[in-house]
Amino acid sequence: MPKPCTQCSAEFAVTDEDRALLDKMTPAFNGKGFPIPDPLLCFDCRLGRRLAFYNCRSLYKRTCDYSHKPIISIYTPDKPFTVYEKNIWYSDSWDPMDYGRDFDFSRPFFEQFRELMETVPQLSRGVVGENENSEYTNDNYKLKNCYLVFDGEQGESCSYGNTFGMVRDCMDFLGLMQCELCYECTACSGSYNLKYSRYCSNCSDSWFLRNCGGCKNCFGCANLRQKQYCIFNEQKTKEEYLEFMKSFDSSKHSVIQAMLKKTENFFLPQPVKYLQGEKNIDCVGDSLLNCKNAYMCFEGTHLQDCRYCTGCLMGGKDNCDVHIWGNNMELCYNCCVVGDQSQNVIAGYYITQGVSNVYYSTFCSRNSSDLFGCIGLRQKHHCIFNKQYTKEEYEELAGRIAAHMIETGEWGQFFPPEISAFAYNETKAQEYFPLSKEEVLKRGWQWSDFEPVVEAEKSIPSSQLPDDSERIPDDVLNWAITCEKTGKLYKLNAKELAFYREHRLPIPRRHPDQRHNDRMALKNPFVVYDRDCLKCNKSVQTTHSPEMDKPVYCEKCYQEDVY
């Protein structure tokens, strides 16, 4: 029976399958189970609530509160938090247990947790391991010479990217795996020297591709496999292709914009598969690979028996309502940024490295277990609000707190936006579910008007940049450029200017954040529609809206058409 979301009033269903998975996750304290209640919010509002805690891309200059040295941080200088630089935060120079406190049963849990957040030092950036010359990044691991890349690992000499693994010399990208020299590409893998393309695998030396695999020296093509020297899906000779590319003046902004419109018009009548991905069994969602029984899951890999999970590229089993990331993650519920052998976690944020039985905690790691309402603990067990207890004391008190949270209506819910360390417009929530300042404040959430100062000799509108990047003077590096859409100022650096010149690409007219938003807009929302395959009329569930009027094929018909 559908019920209304308590936040947006949209009707949504809680299925028997949902309840069975929630029952499987039921924690027990002192021998008594504390079942997870049915969600009060619809899928979108549950995801938005988690994302309102997740600042992935907003970076600021501030001072480390321990060393008093300048650092780059995800916290603005005006935030009411103590912030430590990564190496200090992970060191033995301080002890998060020094901030332990008792739980007050006369007050709500979330209210007290926010007070603990304002006491325990926060990690300046979500960085794991050692990075080299990559200070302006966040949410990453093992980077070298990277700038403004987020949510990824093993990148070298990359700039302006989000969600990646094992990439090199790529710029302006979203969702790349094992790619090199790719520019303005989205959801591509195993590709080399690919430009303005999306949903491609093992392609090289090509431009403006969509849903292609194993293609080389192709331009403006869709749904091709193992092809070479094709232009708009027409086979050409090598000489014809090279002559066409010689005439393509790619360094001109006007030429690229015209070609983007032409290729999008060409793509419109080309068939699309109902679900982006391969090797999936009994799945509903999109952008899935090697998944089984994944329901309403998006952008996931190796997920099994999971529901409502997004961005879990490293896999997991029996998880529900988790945004990022996976890697042997199991029985985790209503979490954000959880993975690396994590098990039995409820409402966790940045919970990693072999933790288990952790509830309503943030930034806990390194084989910790049996934590409730803790921040920043490593290799700790049986702690509540950063205070040590015996196993017996922990079991008794954790059960009482869970019962208290049931009475206050907090049990099973993720941390609310009101207590987030970030303003709504600093987080991924604004990216997925944009709201105006007035709407955010009306809901009692936070908004930030903090704007970093862009230092430059002068500022110019992007419209005044020469059309041809080959005519851009070197001193453009000293200018601030005004984004053509948002009016925000941005600057170029020497490495990216060299990249544009070497690859004969135009100078971008938009702020890096807006370019990221433009790439995000190329992806379908996390919404599923019932449609019929255009060829065989088989019923399918797809993220392609009927209003988009795209030719949607089932798996069988798409394979027959493409191969």
Q: In this structure, what are the phi and psi dihedrals at residue 373, rounded to the nearest 5 degrees? A: 65, 45
292 has pLDDT over 90: yes
Report the b/e string of 303-323 with b at 16+ CB within 10 A: bbbbbbbbbbbbbbbbbbbbb
Q: What percent of the chain has pLDDT over 90?
A: 95
- Dihedral in degrees, nearest 10, Cα atoms 202, 207, 210, 211: -20
Q: Name which of 92-101, 122-131, 368-377 the model is least confident about.
A: 122-131
Residues 6+ apart with CB under 8 A from 16: none
- pLDDT band for 453, please (50, 70, 90 cuts): confident
Max Cα separation, the chain?
79
Place of tokens 């970030």: 422
CA 252 to chain centre: 31
**pLDDT at site 129:** 79
- Residue 452's pLDDT band (cuts 50, 70, 90): confident
pLDDT digits (tens, 9 = 90+) for 303-344: 999 999 999 988 999 999 999 988 899 999 999 999 999 999
Q: Find out whether 78 and 68 touch, Cβ atoms under 8 Å.
A: no
pLDDT of residue 130: 85
Q: What pLDDT was estimated at residue 156?
A: 98
pLDDT in tens, 37-52: 999 999 999 999 999 9
pLDDT category at 4 given cuts 50, 70, 90 is very high
CA distance linking residue 117 with residue 101, whole number of Å: 12
CA-CA distance, 79 to 62, in Å (whole number)?
10
Residues in contact with 149: Cβ distance below 8 Å, sequence separation at least 6, in sequence order: 134, 137, 140, 143, 155, 158, 159, 160, 161, 162, 164
pLDDT tens-digit profile of 195-213? 999 999 999 999 999 999 9
Counts for the chain of helices (H) and strands (E), in that order: 12, 40
Rounded (10°) angle between helices 109-117 and 391-408: 120
The rounded mean pLDDT for the chain is 96
Residue percentage of the chain with pLDDT more than 70: 100
CA dihedral angle for residue 480, residue 483, residue 486, residue 489, rounded to 10 degrees:
-10
Q: For residue 302, which of 335, 325, 271 has the smallest C-alpha distance?
A: 325
Q: For residue 380, is pLDDT > 90?
A: yes
Instruction: Write out the two tokens for 521.
Output: 């807009």
- Span 509-531, mean pLDDT? 96
- Rounded to 5°, angle at Cα 401 from 400 and 403: 65
User: 525 vs 141, 285, 522, CA distance in Å?
Assistant: 28, 10, 9
Summarize the confidence of residues 64-81 as an average pLDDT.
Answer: 97
Q: Residue 325: what pLDDT?
A: 86
**At 124, is the secondary structure helix, strand, or coil?**
coil
Task: Summarize pLDDT for 234-263 with one digit per residue, the tens.
Answer: 999 999 999 999 999 999 999 999 999 999
Contact 518, 511 (CB under 8 A): no
The arithmetic mean of pLDDT across residues 176-205, rounded, is: 97
Global pTM reads 0.95
**Where does the pLDDT of residue 480 fall: very low under 50, low under 70, confident under 90, or very high at 90 and above?**
very high
Kindly tell me if the per-residue pLDDT of 377 is higher than 90.
yes
Q: Is the peptide bond before 89 cis (omega within 30 degrees of 0)?
A: no
Q: Judge whether 372 and 386 are in contact, CB under 8 Å.
A: no
Q: How far apart are CA 20 and CA 143, in angstroms?
A: 41
